Amino acid sequence: MDSKRRQPLGIELVKRGIVTEEDIQRALDYQKAEPKKKIGDILNILRACDPYVLINAMGEILEEKAIYLKESDIKINILDYISIDIARQYKAIPFEEVNGRIKVCFADTSNKRAVETVRLLLLNKGLIMEKYITFETNIDLILNSFSGSNESIDVSADVSGFIDSVIKTAMEKRASDIHIEPMQEGLRVRYRIDGVLINAANVGKEKQSQIIGRLKAISNMHQEKQESQDGRIIMYPEYNIRVSSQKNIYGEKFVLRLLKKNEDVKSIFDLGFPNDEQLLKNAFNKKNSITVIAAPTGEGKTTSLYSIVDYLNRAEINITTIEDPVEIRINGLNQIEVDPKTTFADSLRTVLRQDPDIILLGEIRDTETAEIAMQAGQTGHYVLSTIHTIDAIEVITRLRKMGVSNYDISSTLATSVSERLIRKLCPDCAKERDFTEQEKEIIEKIGNKYNVKFDLEGKKTYDAVGCSKCHNTGYFGRIGIFEVLIINDEIRALIVENKPTMEIRREALKSGYLPLIIEGVNRVLDGTTNLQELNNKLAIY
């Protein structure tokens, strides 16, 4: 079938008599609440027809091999072929190997990145991949059985004991977040560990209302309200726990963010910043200016800010921080926590009357805050802040879009830094091997693009295998990779002239700026991580 002329899947299924128009309408209504789910998966969840008939019809329509995958269909050890982490990320399960060919099920065969990544991983093992399609729910059920992460949670306990067990187990497992999610048939608990969600427990539907009631009680939320709420749990002395609730079609979902109190501030070098004292001084030891750390949410910006402030902290300097919330308390700093009645901009105006030398501003969120921060940087202060954008050069674009003038940016922005957190290979189960020719070509291509010569001679790489220590992900812990853009006279001139970031990037590369990918490849070559993880983070192939 010509894919360009192919009718939508739902229409094709109705034409073939597999489902009715009413079934499709029900699926579309369901999809409004869960837009990421595909129609075929929703029809299966709604039990619109026999699942075996449905998946085979989908395979014919999509021109893919199809199977209603069950655990009994799996003839191999999945973890011998791909890590559980890769399987979860790409919704893929290898299930049978015959004569050098391996059958792999995908929830979405149209996801070219997922299919190609898994194909290359298996090709590196000398296997030719045959792709199949199945339902995402089938894949999730099988992968959840591999999780093994709920061994410490007592699902039979009373509601108070269950929630306490969930939270304490999350702390033990280094989770940053807990997701408690009402589903069609029960309540799912997941932990975010090293940036990846891992299934922790499943609870029967009958306990849902009690669990939600208990969460609201200990988070100081309104019991009657079902709209979005924010709260905090203060029962655990070593942690600040922020709680957010959000209504969905099956009830109320809760996300608990775990922030450890009084955690020691790590050296910026320990976080992964290049081990170059002179670069550190050039990047951060400033006056009359602003330094901005840029990255998407959850990539370590705030942790890096703390490390920089700790590095700059001296008795003769007045450092004031404006945060939402204060995550780590540091001796010698004046730390201010933004409350619901004030904004970053309001607090910054007040702080400027407190004779600060250095101001840590948790985030530049809007035009007003950006303009006041620029004024502070122009009047004798050194301002450190964060911004949400993809790399160090795009900080300039983001400030422009906030309405900051090119003159103010060029005269005040001293340094922009971008970072990402990449997962480190688990030392207990990483499997050493030679780089494949394809991997060497990828690395050499990156080096050629940025005029960097990588030494591959005698270097080894590692596959993420998975074990009990790393929850079968193949990775344990994270480390930052950084890029640093120091604004020199040539770049300032381009900013003032309103030149596009493409020209600014070319000039930056001439002056020694190196993008994140270069540091990432160096982390692959020193065995900290592998190309698969780097690709997950930066999409390099």
Domains annotated for the chain, with CATH where assigned, are 148-260 (3.30.450.90), 277-538 (3.40.50.300)
Please check whether residue 391 is in contact with residue 516, taking contact to mean a CB–CB distance below 8 angstroms. yes
pLDDT of residue 285: 75
Categorize the per-residue pLDDT at 145 as very low, low, confident or very high, splitting at 50, 70 and 90.
Answer: low
Q: What is the DSSP string of 51-65?
A: HHHHHHHHHHHHT-E
The shares of helix, strand and coil residues in the chain, as percent rounded to the nearest 5, are 40, 25, 40
Residue with tokens 């290359």: 120
Question: Which residue from 322, 445, 442, 434 is spatially nearest to 372, judged by alpha carbons?
Answer: 322
Please check whether residue 175 is in contact with residue 258, taking contact to mean a CB–CB distance below 8 angstroms. yes
Q: List pLDDT tens digits, range 204-231.
A: 888 899 999 999 999 999 988 888 999 9
Tell me the three state secondary structure of residue 536. Answer: helix
Burial label, 278 (beta-carbon count in 10 A; 0-12, 13-18, 19+): exposed
Question: Which residue from 448, 519, 450 is spatially nearest to 483, judged by alpha carbons?
Answer: 519
Contacts of 478 (CB under 8 A, 6+ apart): 194, 195, 300, 421, 422, 423, 424
Q: List pLDDT tens digits, range 63-107.
A: 999 999 988 888 888 888 888 778 888 999 999 999 899 999 999
Does the pLDDT at position 2 exceed 70? Answer: no
Segment holding 97, helix H or strand E = strand 92-98
Q: List pLDDT tens digits, range 357-391.
A: 999 998 998 999 999 999 999 988 999 999 999 99
Residue 129's beta-bridge partner residues?
Answer: 102
Both structure tokens of 279: 């670069």
Alpha-carbon distance of 48 to 145, in angstroms, equals: 26
Alpha-carbon distance of 151 to 362, in angstroms, equals: 38
Q: What pTM value is reported for the model? A: 0.72
Burial label, 316 (beta-carbon count in 10 A; 0-12, 13-18, 19+): exposed
Contacts of 224 (CB under 8 A, 6+ apart): none
Categorize the per-residue pLDDT at 6 as very low, low, confident or very high, splitting at 50, 70 and 90.
Answer: low
Number of CB atoms found within 10 A of residue 436's CB: 15
Q: What is the DSSP string of 282-330?
A: HHH--SSEEEEEE--TTSSHHHHHHHHHHHH--TTS-EEEEESS--S--
Average pLDDT over residues 34-39: 85
Name the DSSP letter for residue 85: H
What is the CA angle 336-340-344, rounded to 5?
A: 50
Please check whether residue 523 is in contact with residue 537, taking contact to mean a CB–CB distance below 8 angstroms. no
Q: Starting at the edge strand that comes first in sequence, how are the strands of the sheet with 413-425 ordered? A: 334-337, 319-323, 358-361, 382-387, 289-294, 413-425, 475-486
Alpha-carbon distance of 318 to 380, in angstroms, equals: 13
Q: What percent of the chain has pLDDT over 90?
A: 61
Q: List pLDDT tens digits, range 321-364.
A: 998 877 777 888 899 988 777 788 888 888 988 899 999 998 99
Does the pLDDT at position 183 exceed 70? Answer: yes
Does the pLDDT at position 495 exceed 50? Answer: yes
Count, residues in the chain: 541
Does the pLDDT at position 412 exceed 70? Answer: yes
Segment holding 243, helix H or strand E = strand 239-248
